[in-house]
Chain A
Amino acid sequence: MIKVHCFVSCVCEVIKKTDGVDHRPFYFGVWDADFDVSPDGILSYHSENINHDFFKTWYEMLYGIKIHRWYDEKKSKLTNVMTLLELMKNKPSYRSIMVMLDLSMLPERENKFHQSPFPHYVMLEETDDPKEWFMFDPDFRWEGRLPKQKILDAIMVPDVRGGYYFDAKQINPTNAETIEAYFQTCMKHDENPMSEAIRKIVELFSRGTEKHRRSELSDALKQIPVLAIRKYAYEHAFAFFWEADGYSEEWFEAWCDEIEKLVKGFTAIQYRAMKYAMTADDTVLKEIHEKINEQEKLEYFIKKGLNECFEAWVSNKHTEVLA
């Protein structure tokens, strides 16, 4: 499994480990999950304007687990760290404690995206050694012991603020109606927010009010890779419906190829944007827009295909009820 979304990966981990519940529907909303574009046109996967309330609400509806926010942004960092220490000390075995830290502060960890700061959610547990904590990072499939002080230093970075806990003592098997409602809520049939945002940013830095900052277009789109991998969430949805609808493995593999093409297409956009930022070549600008249009077309095609198998799944479920 590849990194898709750190908050979602953390809360899904306990679901994955439980028989009789399926974590894949929870990924439905991730392909178009919130991101931000700053007033000066910077695309960002993380921002003060993004909260995880949507995922929190649906996690509870799908699995019956309430996610509590323990981090209080109105309080100082130190007060929040004290809250964390208290939570860690009194943690029951069924509780998961999540905290946002700056991953770039932990150089022993792979940091493929080289973001600095790199806001990222992980889960923590105490160990038998008071100077070490066990850090669990399901998004990057990493777990291990690290010096407690190093983790605390990464939490203390001013750019990162956030923390949740949830108790998975009892996990409800999800009913089909809730999955149906969640899919319908998540599916944006008439918009592809990421491609649309990239198009606006490119326009802004090439013909718009920021055209004097053309050479900064590369930086404005620097976080494309972090957002592009969210598109792998489509695979989870196809996998979920594929099994239920009885499609062939080749059918599923063919959709995975389309999703891979979509993710790679964003790399091509990024490359062309970097080239345009450096050369100001109008031919390259035209090629960027061509690729964005191609991406939009491909993503609508994937959404349409997914929606068709969702409808087949709904129809099967209704038949099962009537039988």
Chain B
Amino acid sequence: MQQVTERDNRRAGAVMTLLIGLVLVAGVASTVYATKRWWLPPLVSAAAAPIDRLFNIIMVSIGIVFVLTQGLLAWFVWKAARSPRALYWHESKRLESTWTVATAVILTVFIVMGYQIWLTLHTPTAAAAEKSTVVEVWGQQFFWTARYPGPDGQFGKTDPQFVDFQKNPFGIDPNDPAGKDDIVIDGSKGPIVMPADYHVTVKLSSRDVIHSFFVPNLRVKMDAVPGQVTEVYVQPTEPGRYEIACAELCGVGHFAMRGEIEVLPETDWQAWLQQHAGQHGGTAQ
């Protein structure tokens, strides 16, 4: 073995302590700084408020554990470089069962909290609820298309035989009166519109490969899977424009599959519905 002097060893131990200390301090400091600069974008969905709350609770908890465990590690490393003899100590039923139970208790709390929120997120808005609406959103390489039931609140029947990518991308049945006032929006040409303070059910599907409907400000992400319909429930609060990013690798144009949602105040929304009723062609405005 290469000769390592006691002094060299102690120095190496000190450097290691310093590095772990640096990780601890820089980790906490950069995270605190990041909350000002690179944090969750402003939340504009009432339905998702509990998500942010849970995130904050877990973040603070793991922050405390991070400081304690990295701190202990740094301290033990410092001591280990200086101890004259190692301690022959390799079992402590009490200690081991304590930290096992403590970890289990903390995680059980997280499981219970997480379960409650998960449940509320998946409870569909009752159709009877005031101020609710449904939007169908289709993903395809590399843009989003949306369909609205129009002023009558009813989607028309669709059939693949009527699909015309220019004039009728959803294949709305021209013989179904409910479909007459349906509205189709090509997301590559303009924003997908949603009313503020409504319970909005977004029904997702895909024409080709799997895409994922990610709206950071609404805290939703749901895959759009060909052959299936998936749903998310949102409740936008602030009028404005919010970006949609595709979050599932969907091909070489994946990074450019950007869309926008425009949240309108209720009066503007009603006007918008009237104005666009019957537009099946998939072009906005």
Q: Is B truly associated with A?
A: no
